[in-house]
Amino acid sequence: MRPLRILLAGIEPHTAVDEAMRIMQQQRINDEILDTLILVQHPEVVTLGPKAKRDGALEDPALADYSTTIVDRGGGMTYHGPGQLVGYPIIKWQQDEKSVRSIINRIEDWVMAALTDCGIQGNRDERMMGVWLEGRKICSIGLAFKHWVSRHGLALNYNTNEGRIEALTCCGLDAGTTTSLAAIGHTHDLEGRLLNRARFEEALLVHAEEFLGRVPMKPEDWTPGLVA
């Protein structure tokens, strides 16, 4: 089984991590680094993929109240901010794994397994890829590939600032459709543990081998300046 390097970042600007991911994606293409998973939180920013322009999301008046940045991943408008765990898999997918839909489904299943560990039964929804709960979207997924090495990833909303993500038409969905676990009443797991970043990092790493097909290594502290 292939290893998976785990990089734990603190709260880092999206632009800095995005630039590091570009470098690391090329390094992975060249086999200079191992498959890598970055776990991070970003200061508040709204990222805008190509679909945001097609959906007319750039004309959303609510955007005037947010910092924005253009990205090249799949999908449209995605919120990042406090109370959200972001995971970026920089993985060289093997020949038998080369299906974008299959990779996205694996990431959805991975997140749903982590939620199940916390007593929450997430699901898919025909309206949009990602993970849903009680008719609301609580995890966004968007990837970019180069030579079958992935970049970008998932954003799991566990306790985002009240009303901030709900005000946006994320990925073309109606405002209020995308939300956080806390906003719909899920704040603790079955053992009474707070559903925070540490709890979901733990749950994701427990299930990484099963769903990503790679064995997590001991997590390392990381900042975007350390790209190797």
Asked whether the predicted pLDDT for residue 190 surpasses 80, the reply is yes
pLDDT band at 1 (very low <50, low <70, confident <90, very high): confident
pLDDT for the residue 225 = 79
Label residue 54 exposed, middle or buried (CB < 10 Å: 0-12, 13-18, 19+): exposed
In degrees and rounded to multiples of 5, residue 27 shows phi and psi of -60, -40
pLDDT for the residue 226 = 65
pLDDT for the residue 111 = 98
pLDDT band at 31 (very low <50, low <70, confident <90, very high): very high
Express each pLDDT in 37-85 by its tens digit. Answer: 999 999 999 998 877 767 777 777 888 899 999 898 877 889 999 999 9
Per-residue pLDDT averaged across 16-42, rounded? 97
Express each pLDDT in 114-146 by its tens digit. Answer: 999 999 999 999 989 999 999 999 999 999 999
Determine the CATH number of domain 2-221: 3.30.930.10
| CA pair distance 101, 129, nearest whole angstrom | 10
Listed by start position, the domains of the chain span 2-221
pLDDT for the residue 61 = 82
118, 139, 170, 171: which one is catalytic? 171
pLDDT for the residue 228 = 58
Residue 150 amino acid letter: S
Asked whether the predicted pLDDT for residue 215 surpasses 80, the reply is yes
Asked whether the predicted pLDDT for residue 36 surpasses 80, the reply is yes
Residue matched to tokens 């990779």: 103
pLDDT band at 227 (very low <50, low <70, confident <90, very high): low
Average pLDDT, the chain: 94
Asked whether the predicted pLDDT for residue 14 surpasses 70, the reply is yes
- Is 171 designated active site? yes
